[in-house]
Structure 1
Amino acid sequence: MPTYEMPMLLRLMTKPEMRTILKRTAQLIFDKGGFIRKIENLGVKPTPFKISAHGAIHKEANYFIFYFDVPPTKVIEIQDEYTRDIDIARLAIVKELKPLQQPCTLHEELLPPPYRPSVKKLLRVAQIQEKKNMNKQKFQYNNGLDYLPFQR
């Protein structure tokens, strides 16, 4: 099962109400055959713009991020269920992207250009192309006329 992350904006409420909403949210994930890896509470923050949801305008919200695994066929059902919940102002479910592990090449990049492996490779490719071009015949207009009829 792939890992998904779901940033949620909940309306402002008391802690007991928030606890019940989070339990309800988690229970739906469990009911769909998934499991929760992590829940992050980012706290109460102002929203970047006024959010109108379920007949109310939200200027501040409780920010949470759920990290969970669930079968891909159930993601649409989960998102549909949460969009109808009046306590959730905004949410999105996205597949968690793992950062690519790139080797550090700082020591190569600090070398002068002629000594870098990438530049050496480019020079070798250029030399090969140059040798190919030397063997090529140059095109000659051989029409037997002293002038080119198609040029004015």
Structure 2
Amino acid sequence: MLSDPAVRSLQVTLWPRTGTRGPEAALRSLFWVRYSSSRRRNPHSSVNSPETAAALKRTLETLMDRGAVVRNLENLGERALPYRISAHSQRHTRGGYFLVDFYAPTTTVEGIMEHLSRDIDVIRPNIVKHPLTQEVKECEGIVPVPLEEKLYSTKKRK
């Protein structure tokens, strides 16, 4: 029996396979993209590369195959990682960040994490529970006080 769906945020670290010298980039949903120290590239070229798009598409398809409903995908840009990350025999220092918000039954989260941790392009998957946002309603019992009448007296001065 499945539990009620919950809103979750997915943070996944991926790297696309590019070039003959190994990966030039690593990604995170949050995505992280790594650059080699021997040459600098345009930071936007690897974030928008076809390999990055393929890894992102594969990650989203995995979520949907496991019963998740993707609500939002956000590109947070490229920057330095908070610390060096070693995964799949590669060291990563810079990354392009992506954030995915989705609904999923709580019983499928473990299966999603297991699948993403086995994917060779995923460096570090992370799923956190995201609270449902509710609209803040104004209290109907309080009548707003007109402040201008209190600040300025209605009497005329002589």
Shorter-chain TM band:
0.5 to 0.7
Query: Please, which of 3, 19, 44 is the counterpart of residue 7 of structure 2?
Result: 3
Q: Name the SS of the counterpart of 1:27 in structure 2.
A: helix
Correspondence 1:67 to 2:71: no
Alpha-carbon distance between aligned partners in 2 of 1:56 and 1:83, rounded to the nearest angstrom: 15
Report the structure, 1 or 2, having the larger helix content.
1
CA distance in 1, matches of 2:60, 2:89: 25
Larger relative contact order (C-alpha < 8 A, sep ≥ 6)?
2
Structure 2: segments with no counterpart, 5+ residues: 15-25, 27-32, 34-45, 139-158
Q: In terms of Rg, which structure is larger?
A: 1
CA-to-aligned-CA distance 1:26-63 (integer Å, 9 cap, x gap):
11111111110001111111111100111100001221
Aligned match of 1:82: 116
Instruction: State the TM-score, normalized to the length of structure 2.
Output: 0.59
| TM-score normalised by L of structure 1 | 0.61
Matches within 5 A, 1:1-152: 1-10=5-14, 11=26, 12=33, 13=46, 15-98=49-132
**Regions of 4+ moved over 4 Å:** 98-101
After superposition, the CA RMSD in angstroms is 2.2
Instruction: Give identity over the alignment, percent.
Output: 34
Output the amino acid matched with 2:88.
H
